[in-house]
Structure 1
Amino acid sequence: MRDPGLNTWTYYAPVTAGGDVPPPMPGDALSDPSVEGLLSAGLACWPVGAAWGTPDGMAAGDDTGLARFTRAVLAPFVDLYARAWRLVVESTAGTMGDSLPEWEADHGLPDACTSVDQSTAGRRQAVQARVRGTGVITPLDFVRLAHDRGFEIAIEEPALFECGFSECGGEHTLGDAREEAYWIVHVSNIAVDYFVVGESECGFDPLFATSGLDRLQCLFRGLYPGWTQPVYEIDEELPPFAHDWLTGLDSGGERFFPRALLDGGSSARLSGIL
């Protein structure tokens, strides 16, 4: 529900109360079998009789020559069952393994939004984030998607002052109703390199440069609703306290605001937001 005095904030929260923990892996006796585990079933497939080591219906022993031969016959089936089960399990992005290259090909990875981490774990994380990104609708979905890619963000939805609803002295500001199409992505724990007098070169080095923000922008660019426009703000920590900003444009024309100052005296606002 909208607050009459404060903007709407969305912070990261796991899907379940216990965290983003995948469910236990399903399985049965044939998902990871052993030769000894299949031996009794294999011996039961042979004919019964004295010639087969089972006179008068006696059970076949596991130390006979027939048992050793049965073990050799069962060995390929053990590998077959285990391999077939792994392929069935890999039908989901959360449990894929050997099929990782096929998943990447299906989802067009790696791409410009992919992290520089191209280890197996990093590639699997990129595929999982791409699959989860197909269902992004709410601000919390965007926050969780960014979290999956290693970003710590919070989303602020500014509200314009509305007579009969908004409170005087609150965060709701005057302006055109179309300005509510903007939403602010607060990004923290991201590296910012500033222009340093005596070290940086005028006309060559920018006033500030970020590392990794372009990947977050690339990730969101194809997902956010077309009638909205995200604005990126770099904070030293979340939630943001101050409003002393330097304004800039990135290479894609999207606005973002690196934090220049933290106002410790504004921390009382945090209790109202949360």
Structure 2
Amino acid sequence: MGMTAEDYAAQLAALLPTGPAWQPSPDTLLGRIVLAIGTELARVHARADTLRIEADPRSTTELLAEWELTAGLPDRCVNVAQSIEQRRAALLARLTGTGGASRSYFIGVAAAYGYTVTIEEPALHTWRMRSTEVVGITRFRAGLSTAGDPLASFGNEAFECLFNRIKPAHTALLFAYGI
């Protein structure tokens, strides 16, 4: 919605003194200078328009890394290798999170990260979080895995890390996937 280089050049030409020497026609040196200044002003205007978009964490792309730094991301639970959408979702969840200890709060946090969960309480201070998302199995591979690695593991480490970080200290979390 910014002005064009020609718009700025016309405004600059209107500010010049009157007289035949000050007529900035396109074929004169003065006309080319006025257009060059107008081009730069239009470029700066376009970048200022972009800054309005980047100032909103819901639509940022160029300033996503700075927003994440402000919010303390990435952390041990949120990985930089995620897609832009996943990184934005994590950023928004971190910036808008209010905290809580209720089931509805945890279900809302899961939804903000793109998961659908239900929560059961099989025992006192124990919650089972059931996610409909199916997760892959990581198997031990000769040459890639090292001694001490499990022969097979499954789960979503980022998801589990997030909820273990925000859960009440006295609560044990159990995770069930694809159910």
Q: Determine if the TM-score, normalized by the shorter chain, exceeds 0.5.
A: yes
User: 2-side partners of 1:182 and 1:76: how far apart?
Assistant: 62
Relative to its length, the structure with more helix (as a share) is: 2
User: 1-side partners of 2:118 and 2:39: how far apart?
Assistant: 54
Q: 1:46 to 1:154 in 2, by over 3 A?
A: farther
CA-CA distance at 1:188 after TM superposition: 1.5
- 2:19 aligned to which of 49, 56, 74: 49
- CA deviation map 1:22-42 (0-9, x unaligned): xxxxxxx44xx4212323322
CA-CA distance at 1:72 after TM superposition: 0.6
Q: 1:89 to 1:75 in 2, by over 3 A?
A: same
Question: Quick check: 1:233 aligned with 2:176?
Answer: yes
Q: 1:42 to 1:116 in 2, by over 3 A?
A: closer
- 2:65 aligned to which of 81, 96, 101: 101
- 2:128 aligned to which of 184, 190, 200: 184
Amino acid of the structure 1 residue aligned with 2:106 = F
CA-atom RMSD in angstroms: 3.5
Higher relative contact order structure (alpha carbons within 8 Å, sequence separation ≥ 6): 1
- 2:95 aligned to which of 122, 131, 135: 131
* 1:93–1:128 Cα contact (<8 Å) kept: yes
* 1:190–1:210 Cα contact (<8 Å) kept: no
Alignment identity in percent? Answer: 27
Superposed, 1:193-232 pairs within 5 Å as 193=137, 205=151, 209-212=153-156, 214-232=157-175
**TM-score of the two chains, using structure 2 as the length reference:** 0.68
- CA deviation map 1:171-207 (0-9, x unaligned): xxxx8xxx3x44432111222659xxxxxxxxx646x
Classify the secondary structure of the residue corresponding to 1:95: coil
**TM-score of the two chains, using structure 1 as the length reference:** 0.48
Structure 2 unpaired stretches of 5+: 139-149
* 1:115–1:122 Cα contact (<8 Å) kept: no
Match of 2:106 in 1: 142
Q: 1:48 to 1:143 in 2, by over 3 A?
A: farther
* 2:9–2:34 Cα contact (<8 Å) kept: yes
Q: 1:118 to 1:235 in 2, by over 3 A?
A: closer
User: 2-side partners of 1:114 and 1:141: how far apart?
Assistant: 19
Match of 1:73 in 2: 37
- CA deviation map 1:68-92 (0-9, x unaligned): 3311112222222222333344333
Is the radius of gyration larger for structure 1 or structure 2?
1
User: 1-side partners of 2:26 and 2:61: how far apart?
Assistant: 38
Classify the secondary structure of the residue corresponding to 2:177: strand
- CA deviation map 1:46-79 (0-9, x unaligned): 22333323xxxxxx7x746344331111222222
Question: Quick check: 1:35 aligned with 2:5?
Answer: yes
Q: 1:103 to 1:95 in 2, by over 3 A?
A: same
